[in-house]
Amino acid sequence: MKLDLYQVDAFASKPFEGNPAAVCPLETWLDDALMQAIAAENNLSETAFFVPTETGYHLRWFTPSVEVDLCGHATLATAWVIFNALGETAETLYFETRSGELSVQREGDELVMDFPAKTLKPLAMEAEVAAALGIREIEELLISDDIVAVVSEAKLIESLAPDMQRLKLLPGRGIAVTAKGSDVDFVSRWFGPKAGVEEDPVTGSAHTSLAPYWAAKLDKTCLIAQQGGQRKGQLTCEVKGERVMIKGQVAPYFKGVITLPSPQST
């Protein structure tokens, strides 16, 4: 059995920026273990698989070690593949996912994702989180799906070298470290060793918490965000009540073919 595979850079204006994702179009679902094995072989933070439905697409995301409930950059990557490689003419795509229905709309040379906003609550683990991150002070510590550690300066984020084993002991899916930006509204980095991703260059799903937080802090609903350490990408986030619109570009990198020994479908 042969399957097409696309690798594209999400939240990137050109290759080698943003966050690479693999996208694998399917006609019917493969066995879960096989999809997990493909994601592990790809060795990217996310591999997306999708199957057409009567109203859109059913979309699933896998890190090299687990299936996840929500992934922004691989959703953006999937929409790019459907629009540009597969020739979809609709202006909006609808995805059935573990996080409910998500949509992605074309807007010029960018794509806009409509995601549910997440509410943060205080987390009283400042000492443990600071030790895991290797920093002295955290201004504010919160949690939704991810821990959000707010620090005083963007330059602290650039130099982070967390202890991954300590991070694995913390609650939540992963940890986003964020600060007010200078050229952009806010900056962040995201670490998720429990999910098999030590650092994700640009995490769209994390901005479902980060964007509402900074919208309230900065008293604005439309924000420019930058995420990443050595490799970075930019997003535009607009908070609309209980939803967050996350906008970005996608740069194609390659198309290939996976060769599997025998069909395994469910």
Q: Residue 244, CB half-sphere, CA atoms under 13 Å: how many?
A: 25
Catalytic residue among 17, 27, 41, 46: 46
- The whole-angstrom distance between residue 230's C-alpha and the CA centroid of its chain comes to 17
d(CA 72, CA 119): 17
- How far is Cα 56 from Cα 50, in angstroms, rounded to an integer? 10
46 is catalytic: yes
C-beta neighbour count of 219 within 10 angstroms: 7
* H-assigned helices in the chain: 32-42, 72-80, 126-133, 154-158, 164-168, 207-218
Residues 6+ positions from 12 with CB-CB distance below 8 Å: 18, 19, 233, 248, 249, 250, 251
CB 205 within 8 A of CB 115: yes
Residues with catalytic function: 46
